[in-house]
Amino acid sequence: MVDRVWRPGRPCPVGALLAPLRRGAGDPTYRRDGDDHWLGLRAPTGAATLRVRSEPALGEVHAQAWGPGADWALERLPALLGDADDPAGFTPHHDLVARAWERHPDLRIGRTDRVMEALVPAVIEQKVTGQEAFAGFRSLVHRHGERAPGPGGERRLWLQPGPEALRRVPSWEWLRMHIDPARSRPLVRAAGVAGSLERLVTLDGDEADRRLRSLPGIGVWTSAEVRQRALGDADAVSFGDYHLAKEVGWALFGHDIDDERLAEVLEPYRPHRGRAAMLILLAGRRRPRRGPRMAPRTHLPAG
């Protein structure tokens, strides 16, 4: 085990900052035990288990890590918790955003610097219900991933399958996990160029977006989901999301809007459009739930 104590010099709500990395309550790569947050990750130097805990009374964040990637995970801890995010120049253009920014002045966007680990669940979540997406991700991790090193394994913490494992998954096995070819094929293609994809963390958001979307099956929504998490891109907006435009519309105007209108609303916030959308969702009234939820598909074989 190696450990680190980090003093961020600002409030650092670990749970809120790490929440975007959790893919549903049953995410096997993320566990919470009281105030301890456990993550299983694949660092460039190898597998790692990372435990993070906030000590707000001391103004500190305490972290421990195990495995070959432990040193890398602790070195990247500040960036993971938003220290690389710079909100300078962010100006609210709506009263609701201004109020939210006053209540959350320490809001930061973390970055994992791990592109494939953001891309895999994002592709699985394309055009399906959250229930189906989270179940497919869990199946993939349990069938083709591995237990996290050190005490992570004892807590049933897992690692996502690496690129080699993804390339070896047969087509029929993807279907058993309720991941259809429209999603499994982009994953296998991405696994074949994983080394190049990981180097996207050195690029700005626009160039990373262009290169991500050059891959077949990777569109605007998936690129934004990856850039938000892997690069901490404060300008990334998940256009095409089933809920986002409607929720922003209700928060600001009291009615639904579409993606075209969402782009107009957020344009003045560039290069902080993603930050503005986050604040709107934090502060706004929620859209009324009407009618049945989108049902998961039933035509795929059982796992």
Fill in the amino acid letter for 269. Y
Domain housing 36: 2-86
Predicted structure pTM score: 0.92
Closest Cα partner for 156 from 143, 137, 142?
A: 142
Is it the case that residue 112 has pLDDT exceeding 90?
yes
Domain boundary among 86, 107, 127: 86
- Give the mean pLDDT of the chain: 94
What is the per-residue pLDDT across 33-58, written as a single tens digit (0 to 9) for each? Answer: 999 999 999 999 999 999 999 999 99
What pLDDT score was predicted for residue 302?
44
Average pLDDT over residues 108-128: 97
Q: Are residues 73 and 158 in the same domain?
A: no
What pLDDT score was predicted for residue 106?
85
What pLDDT score was predicted for residue 290?
65
Residue 30 located in a structural domain: yes
- Using a pLDDT cut of 90, give the percent of the chain over it: 90
**H runs (alpha helix) in the chain:** 14-18, 70-75, 77-80, 95-103, 115-124, 130-144, 151-154, 163-168, 171-176, 181-192, 194-198, 205-212, 220-226, 244-253, 259-266, 273-283
Q: Are residues 54 and 138 in the same domain?
A: no
What pLDDT score was predicted for residue 278?
96
Q: Are residues 25 and 64 in the same domain?
A: yes
What is the per-residue pLDDT across 242-284, written as a single tens digit (0 to 9) for each? Answer: 899 999 999 999 999 999 999 999 999 999 999 999 999 998 7
- With contact defined as beta carbons under 8 Å apart, do 93 and 208 qualify? no
CATH number of the domain that 121 lies in? 1.10.340.30
